[in-house]
Amino acid sequence: MKIREIAEILDAQVYSCYDRLDDEVISACASDMMSDVLAFVKDQAVLVSGLCNPQAIRTAIMMDMRCLVLVRCKVPTQDMITLAQQSNIVILSSKLRMFAACGLLYEQGLLPGENTLV
């Protein structure tokens, strides 16, 4: 699935890296706790979160993710946008709650990927 499709499915606004909207992604994870993402997530390209601060971008960078989807009407700060631009990470923002956003993405074929709990 292209990041552009994620934006359309979630009716999301794009805040960074418009040139990366045609990047392909196949899996995602969702969490507001970045420590859980760092500890348990493996090989996901999209992070769905309500955490709206630079730590979410830094976590995405460390995990080689391509896209951060902010949920619950969160708007990224300029610091987040700048960091995302420098790191080639697309930031999207949706009005949906996390559960609804994840359900829609899963229904349209975005996979949950692997985690290290199994």
Residue 45: closest CA among 93, 105, 117, 107:
105
Q: What is the pLDDT of residue 116?
A: 45
pTM attached to this predicted model: 0.93
Q: What is the pLDDT of residue 40?
A: 82
pLDDT single digits (tens) 80-112: 999 999 999 999 999 999 999 999 999 999 988
Q: What is the pLDDT of residue 35?
A: 92
Structural domains of the chain, ranges and CATH numbers in brackets: 3-110 (3.40.1390.20)
- What average pLDDT does the structure give for the chain? 93
Q: Which residue ranges of the chain lie beneath pLDDT 70?
A: 113-118
